[in-house]
Chains A and B, each alone.
Chain A
Amino acid sequence: MSLKYTNSFTVEGGNFEKAGIASVEIKKILKNMGINGDTLRKIAIAAYESEINIISYAKRGVINVRVTPDFVLLDVEDEGPGIENIGMAIREGFSTASDTIREMGFGAGMGIPNIKNCSDAFELTSEVNKGTHLRVLINISGS
């Protein structure tokens, strides 16, 4: 299995003005590589929600993207408060978002479920007061 592409995108916590820059860029690059359709749609959603999670909750984070002929891996690590209860965090509708975040239309407890729905393999680990590590694997199928 030969590596086709790898890159890292840093995301600044709290900065909603820059929200979407990393995921739009990731989508453009992968689209140019010939990934499209449902695969690209899933990657875009997972990358965007990961980016929004860093901005909403962490100090800073990085989205590492690795593309192989068979799959795309988004490896997302942040420095921040971490998640106290991962079981709750992956439930649709559960959120610890502030009112400000909710007013913008975020923090409805849909982000992590969205990511999970888009992934073929999903792993979420976290250490309170240190940070969160999310790994999302999306198979490249028929694109």
Chain B
Amino acid sequence: MELASIVKKLNLRVECGKDKLGREVPGGYVGDLLSDVMGNSKEGDLWITRQTHQNIVAVASLKELAGIVLVQGKEPDEDTLEKAIQEGIIILVTELQTFEVTGKLYNLIS
């Protein structure tokens, strides 16, 4: 499913990368441990996390993830946003808890 449709259906707030939502999302990955995401996520996954610090941008960039979804209405740190814009990484925000947004995403794309 196209990322733009996911954003619409899950009512995600787009913090940055609005012009890059045409990407197809084949799957998702959930994790707050950065090495876990580095080791086990797949290219193109939409990453759901509660981490908001700038190191998430490098992980998303290195693994070529479709984007990052921050849960519980968490705003990305200012330097996170700056880096994400620089690297062309999409950051999205949901008011939902990890469990809920993961379930909804799974139902949408599985």
Give Cα distance in the complex from A33 to B53, angstroms: 31
Majority-rule SS of B interface residues: helix
Contact B35–A20 (Cβ < 8 Å): no
Residue of B nearest to A43 (CB): B62
* CB < 8 Å neighbour of A20 from B33, B36, B57: B57
Contact B38–A48 (Cβ < 8 Å): yes
B34 interface residue per 8 A CB criterion: yes
Which residues on A are within 8 Å of B, measured CB to CB? 16-17, 19-21, 23-24, 27, 41, 44-45, 48-49, 52, 104-106, 108, 110-111, 113-114, 117
B16 interface residue per 8 A CB criterion: no
Residue of A nearest to B57 (CB): A20
Within 8 A of A (CB), among B13-52: 32-36, 38-39, 43, 49, 51
Contact A49–B87 (Cβ < 8 Å): no
B6 interface residue per 8 A CB criterion: no
Contact A19–B33 (Cβ < 8 Å): no
- B41-81, CB under 8 A of A: which get 1 and which 0? 00100000101011101110111000000000000000100
Contact A108–B38 (Cβ < 8 Å): no
Contact B35–A111 (Cβ < 8 Å): yes
Give Cα distance in the complex from A9 to B78, angstroms: 26
Contact of A41 with B33 at beta-carbon distance under 8 Å, contacts A48-B59, A114-B38 already known: no
In the complex, what residues of A have CB within 8 A of residue B53's CB? 16, 104
